[in-house]
Structure 1
């Protein structure tokens, strides 16, 4: 096996095949989910993730906790939370313990929207992801993806990455 320019061995054919199948399946699923959410709720997939995460909690989350939970950039989350706040679906405000920290909470309208789009969301997920799987397949997929996710989560969260200055060259 030869190595790439930086001494890293290339992916072997089975690794490359698994990677492409996974990314294609995720893209196909996200596209259908996005279509359903826009048609039934007028929201994007990211907005649904934010609302659903908040709707299943008893209280607010910090912007950092929310960004880490949905794996989204701080600036992107600020923008999305602003749109959701303008639509009356979330509230944002300073933490009583630390006014440098912004808390985000779902409103009654936000919770109602999640409840309205959730049945269609479940239908799309079930039809595309779970229907072709046996119970044994489902157990294996859940186990494998949990290990992969847990391995990936050992890296610092995206929100902890240092911010690039506007003057620094982009990567």
Structure 2
């Protein structure tokens, strides 16, 4: 099946596509900015930390750092830093997995659940006010359907954590 929105020239973007792209980027930026402020005010959390706690809260058990990185689409080093900050605050614990000594398991603590419970009502109210209030029920249904298809399409590629780590090139030897 061909995509009717795909330009004949693979590098070309149709004006309507470009417009939709920039509106999407702006809306996401506006939403993320407001969400970040709410999470910081209500729980001292960054958006990424909230996302990590939420994933851990809804998981059937502890998750590996790789599972978390894939789920929140975050770099390994950034995730390690965020997990360390959450552990320092007593919101998660990290430990070795019994099956793979290279993997680290992350578990949400009772304190982490309490912080999530404290910030979630404000998060829901803010999301509803900014994102869902201007939409009809049909709009919400269509938005969910569209974004699910886009996400699923993007997720057909291997997760970022599966990508080989970049290595810095060796410095060139000085010429004699």
TM-score bucket of the superposed structures, by smaller chain: over 0.9
The answer for the alignment partner of 2:162 in structure 1 is: 160
The answer for the alignment partner of 1:59 in structure 2 is: 61
Distance 1:98 1:54 in 2: 20
Q: 1:29 to 1:168 in 2, by over 3 A?
A: farther
Residue 100 of structure 1: how far off its partner (Å): 1.1
Residue 10 of structure 1: how far off its partner (Å): 1.8
Unaligned runs of 5+ in 2: 1-6, 172-176
The answer for the alignment partner of 1:13 in structure 2 is: 15
Residue 57 of structure 1: how far off its partner (Å): 2.2
Residue 55 of structure 1: how far off its partner (Å): 1.1
Asked if 1:128 is matched to 2:124, the reply is no
Distance 1:11 1:30 in 2: 26
The answer for the alignment partner of 2:104 in structure 1 is: 102
Out of 21, 24, 28, which is 1:26 matched to? 28
For 1:18-38, what per-residue CA distance to the aligned partner results, in whole angstroms no more than 9, with x for missing partners? 000000000000000000000
SS in 2 for 1:92: strand
- Segment of structure 1 superposing worse, 21-30 or 49-58: 49-58
For 1:43-90, what per-residue CA distance to the aligned partner results, in whole angstroms no more than 9, with x for missing partners? 100000001110112310000000000001111101100010011100
What root-mean-square deviation, in Å, do the aligned CA atoms of Structure 1 and Structure 2 show?
1.5
Unaligned runs of 5+ in 1: none
SS in 2 for 1:164: coil
Residue 162 of structure 1: how far off its partner (Å): 1.1
Distance 1:79 1:166 in 2: 21
TM-score by length of 1: 0.92
Residue 135 of structure 1: how far off its partner (Å): 0.4
Aligned residues: 164
Superposition misfits of 4+ residues, deviation over 2 angstroms: 166-169
- Segment of structure 1 superposing worse, 82-91 or 159-168: 159-168
